[in-house]
Structure formats: structure tokens, C-alpha cells
Amino acid sequence: MSFPTPENMPDLNLSTPEREGANSSVDQNEALLGGWIKRLPKDDLEKYTELYLDALKGFNQTSSNEQQQSIMLDLYRAPLNDLLFSLTPFKLSQIYPDLNDRNNIIDALTELMAELALGYKKLVIESGKKIANLTRNPIAIFAINRACEQLGYMALHAYKFNREVPNKVFNELHQLYQLALLAEVEKKIPFINQRQRLQAKSSFKERYCQILLISISNPYGLKSGEVLHAYHIMQQFSVAAQIAPLPMGAEVVAGQFYINCLADKTPLPSELPMLENQTQPPTLVLDTKPAIGIVDSLLKQASVSIESAEAIDRNVLKQLIPYFNTSYERKQKRMPVTGNAQVCLTTGLEAIHKTLMDTRSLPNDEHVAQDLSWDILNKNKTGYLLCRQDIVGNQELNVGDFVAISEVNATEKTLTKLACIRWIKTDFNNKTKLGLDIIEGEPMAVRYSLDSMSKIRPAILLPETSQAASLITMAGVFKRDKTIHIIPKKKRFQLNIMLNRLLNKNASFERFTFRDVM
């Protein structure tokens, strides 16, 4: 016996551990396992993840009763979840300066989360063989909730490091939600009464909504430090958002997202999924209108709780809100690429400055990609869509970084534009796609000093166009009404400026407007 599924859904098809029933030296005693986990070398993430994964794989291949499995899996779960939310990309780069080492840790953590999810999915299936009525099976309800959590965390981990979400994550989430929906337990907060009371913090519906909402909100366009904060914001929206089955033959309704439960995809705005034979697959409807309704209260909350640890960042919230609207333009129309099919990217303020000083020869600098070339997939007046193979192993790029785009035109002249990285995504084959927004105006290389005694540093000046003139410097320079000294390429035109308004910034750059000081 196994759990029944909706009439239009196939039987439950979840990935589970490859070998089961094997003998293992893994501790089956929770006190011993808890002590072993505490002794793991947390200062050596490579060794930590290796030992952790070996033990978890061994446990998943052994047989034990369902109550014991749930206790032991939760012991494995707690420190892994703590690591997910505490290990930021910046912190990882501080521990492992080498990019290949960081990539190995990222992959190891992905495998660990997948293995923990396998354990909970195994628990779902095994408990279903004994009690096929989900409403009367608290262990299965609990395991479904935990499996949803770990599958969602696999997606969140991918977003945090600009990686492609592992295969089957969303397909299995859709399957499990349909299962819970049929039994009407999707809004239940599960718990198990046993030697240790195990209880989830939120319902399956809220966890499912939370990961779907961040998935439709351009997660690859969030800065590395914003992904986890955005996920926490979505927890409040997940209570308001609604998910329900779509009746057969129903038509598209404005303001709704549609989920093909047979596919491994995130919700699509205002687009009914169809199979090849033009029939409708089992479909769920994600209605974000109730979530939009609480935006004002969250903005007010963000205004009054600035000092709180749980404070909502208004800038992040404002980035997310437009994506709840199905009419929001998510993709730009693809244009046929004519002329040059490749461009060179330069990153790092000093390297960009050198490129602008002399565009006839591109800089051979550590901040420039090894072979300098990116393939153009799409471009228009406002931006580029680029891709490159194996870029992850060659250089670091971050959402919000400024880059110089050098492109040879039809007259063999190199034109250089300034752009900002809008989003980054690397697939399983290490092919990275990059979305760039062009910054209006012809950039000029200048230098500046804070006073006559300060070191002269490079900067990029963007003259006034439809927007006010602005200056890009290293981080930490901007302070409203501060005066700095600008030294252009032609030194006879030196001037003093007073800093006016900060436009954007990240860990390396600041861009701000200014006014002349007479």
C-alpha cells in the first residue's frame, strides 16, 4: 500500500537512497550521534562535509523503525540548517580564497542537503506502506514537511551561490503538495509525540509558498547577501498567498501563476501549462494577490523596526514586490545578434580605469577573464545577455558589480561601455549566463583625491545625459556634502565637487551624483 494521489496525477515518484537495508557502523543512539556531530571539525569545512555525508549516507542505507528514523534525521538536520543560514558567499570566500575550493564546498553542501531530503522521502514512503491514510499518519505528515523544507533549502542554496537548482527539486515539491492537498493536511503543523517531541515550525503550505515566491522573484538578480533576507521576507507573504488546484478546462485569470505538477519548473505567470497532446496536466494555481495586499503593512514595519534583528530591508522588499504582479515584464524581447558575436568584459575599478584610459589595447590584468571573451546571446540599447563556458573557475562576478564591455564595431574600432551586472546563473555544465544593464553615457577615466595630502585614486565619471552626472569610486568614499578633488585625463581641467546623492553601491564600488563647487 502507498498513499493515494489525485486522479489526474501518477503515483508518487520520489528519489530515495540507492541502497537500503545495509549494515552500517553509524550510531543508532541519538545521544552518541549528537556527541559525534558536536565533535566534527567545524573549522575545516572540507573535512566536516566529507565526514557528515559519509555518516548520513550510511544511516539512510540502514533499517530502523520510523520513529527512530525521524529522531535521528532531525539530529542530522539541525547543524546542517544552521550552516545553510550562517555561511554566506562572503564568509566562504574569507575561509577559502581559492575559487575552486569554494566550488567544492558549495557542491558538497548541495549533496548533503540532497541526502538529508532522501532520508525524509524514504521515511514518507516506508510509513505509507504501513498506514496509507495520510490523515492518520503523523510520521508521514511530519516527514513530508521536512522533505519539503530540505528540497526548498536545496533551491535556496542554489540561489545564494547563483547556481542552477538541482534536478527534480520542484517536481518532487509539486508531487508532495498534491499528496498533502488531497488528504487536506497541507495547512497542518505536524508534530510527533515520542521520547523527544518533534514539531515543525510552519505548515507544508507555507513552506511550499515560501520557496515558490522567492523562485518567481528573480532570485539570481539578488545580491549574495540579500538572498537569505529575501527568503525570510517571503515567510510573511507565504501566509497570505493562496494555492489551489486548477479545475479541468479552466481559463487563464489575470494575476495568477500556474504550476505544472508533472514538470520540474517554477510557476509561470498567466500561462496555462499544456502537454504535447494539447491536454491540461494536473495544475496548481498560485494566487499572489492576497500577498500583494500586505505590502503596505510590511513597508510600514520596515520603517519602524530599523534597529531590530528581524528588520525588513525596504530596498530588498521593493525589489521583490514587482514580481508578484503577473503583468510585470520579466524578460526582454530577444533580438537577433548582428555584427560582432563576442565582447570582452573587464571587472575591478583599476582594470576598468586602465581600459578607458587606452581602449586600443585591452588590459592584461588579474581582474579580466582569462581569454577575455563572452558570447553575445542577446543585446539591445539597454543591455546584454552573455554566456561563457567555465567562467566559474576563472573569475569572480557578483550581482551589482560594475563592468566595462569592450566591443569591436564594424570599423574595427573598440567601443567601451559601462554596465551593471543584473543577474548571474551558472548551470550544471559550468556555463554562466550574465544579464547586464548598460549605464547611460560615455564613461570617462578620471582620478580623485580627498584632499591635497591624500593618495590619488582612479574613478569613473559618467557625464550628464538624461540623468545627472555621476562618479564611481571605491567603496567608503561617499558622505553627503563631502568635497573631493577631480583630476581628469587632461589635467588642466581639474575641479572640486561636492557629493550629493548615493545611487547604488556594493562591497567594492559606490556610485553617486555630485555638484560643482565654485
Q: How many residues does the chain have?
A: 518
Cβ contacts of 425-430, under 8 Å, gap ≥ 24 = 425/162, 425/163, 425/164, 425/220, 426/162, 426/163, 426/164, 426/391, 426/392, 427/164, 428/164, 429/389, 430/389, 430/390, 430/391, 430/392, 430/393
The pLDDT score that the predictor gives to residue 460 is 94
Percent of the chain's residues with pLDDT above 70:
89
How many beta carbons lie within 10 A of that of residue 227, not counting itself?
23
Between these two residues, 4 and 479, which has the higher pLDDT value? 479
CA 216 to CA 66: how far, in whole Å?
35
Query: 57 φ, ψ to 5°?
Result: -60, -45
Average pLDDT of the segment spanning 344-366: 73
Q: Which alpha helices (DSSP H) does 25-168 contain, by range? A: 30-38, 45-60, 66-86, 89-95, 99-130, 138-160
Look up residue 158 and give its three cell numbers.
542554489
Backbone angles phi, psi at 149, to 5 degrees: -60, -50
Q: What mean pLDDT comes out for the span 82-106?
A: 91
**What distance in Å separates the CA atoms of residue 87 and residue 477, rounded to the nearest whole number?**
28
Give residue 50's pLDDT. Answer: 96
CA angle 421, 422, 428 (to 5 degrees): 90
Q: Which letter, b or e, does each residue of 52-86 get, where b requires 16 or more Cβ atoms within 10 Å of its Cβ?
A: bbebbbebbbbeeebbebbbbbbbbbebbeebbee
Which residue did the predictor score with more confidence, 371 or 516? 516
- pLDDT class of 364 with cuts at 50, 70, 90: very low
Tell me the three cell numbers of residue 125.
514512503
Q: How would DSSP label each residue in 336-401? A: ---S--EEEEEESHHHHHHHHH-TTS----TTEEEEEEEEEEEE-SSEEEEEEETGGGT----TT-
The whole-angstrom separation of Cα 266 and Cα 384 is 24
Say if residue 305's pLDDT is above 80. Answer: no
Question: What mean pLDDT value characterizes the chain?
Answer: 87
pLDDT confidence of residue 361: 47
Long-range contacts of 129-138 (CB under 8 A, 24+ apart): 129/1, 129/2, 130/66, 132/1, 132/2, 132/3, 132/4, 133/183, 134/3, 134/179, 134/180, 134/182, 134/183, 134/185, 135/183, 135/184, 135/185, 138/190, 138/191, 138/192
Alpha-carbon distance of 494 to 286, in angstroms, equals: 58
Counting Cβ atoms within 10 Å, is residue 182 exposed (0-12), middle (13-18) or buried (19+)?
Answer: middle
pLDDT band at 303 (very low <50, low <70, confident <90, very high): low
C-alpha cell of 435? 544579464
The per-residue pLDDT for 413 is: 76
Q: How high is the pLDDT of residue 182? A: 93
Judging by DSSP bridges, how do beta strands 444-449 and 402-408 pair with one another? unpaired
Least confident of 66-80, 287-301, 348-362: 348-362
pLDDT per residue as tens digits for the range 230-245: 999 999 999 999 999 9
Q: How confident is the model at residue 8 (pLDDT cuts 50, 70, 90)?
A: confident
Cα dist from 422 to 97, 387, 390, 393, 408, whole Å? 24, 14, 20, 20, 23
pLDDT tens, position by position, 382-393: 899 999 887 554
Q: Are 184 and 205 in contact (CB under 8 A)?
A: no
What pLDDT, on a 0 to 100 scale, did the predictor assign at position 27?
Answer: 62
- pLDDT of 370 strictly over 50: no
- pLDDT of residue 152 exceeding 70: yes
3-state secondary structure 84-113: HHHCCHHHHHHHCCCHHHHHHHHHHHHHHH
The amino acid at residue 416 is: T
Q: Are 16 and 125 in contact (CB under 8 A)?
A: yes
DSSP run (H or E) holding 206: helix 204-215
Exposed/middle/buried for 173, CB within 10 Å: 0-12, 13-18, 19+? buried
How far is it, in rounded angstroms, from Cα 367 to Cα 379? 24
Per the CB < 8 A criterion, the answer to whether 17 and 57 are in contact is: yes
Q: What amino acid is encoded at 255 in this protein?
A: G
Residue 92 is which amino acid? L
Rounded average pLDDT over 469-497? 86
For residues 289-303, average pLDDT = 85
pTM of the model: 0.90
> In this predicted structure, which of 55-59, 300-304, 433-437 has the lowest mean pLDDT?
300-304
Query: How confident is the model over 200-224, as pLDDT tens digits?
Result: 999 999 999 999 999 999 999 998 7
- Mean pLDDT of the region 409-422: 82
What's residue 368's pLDDT?
45
CA distances to 101, 246, 318, 425 from 311, rounded to whole Å, are 33, 36, 14, 28
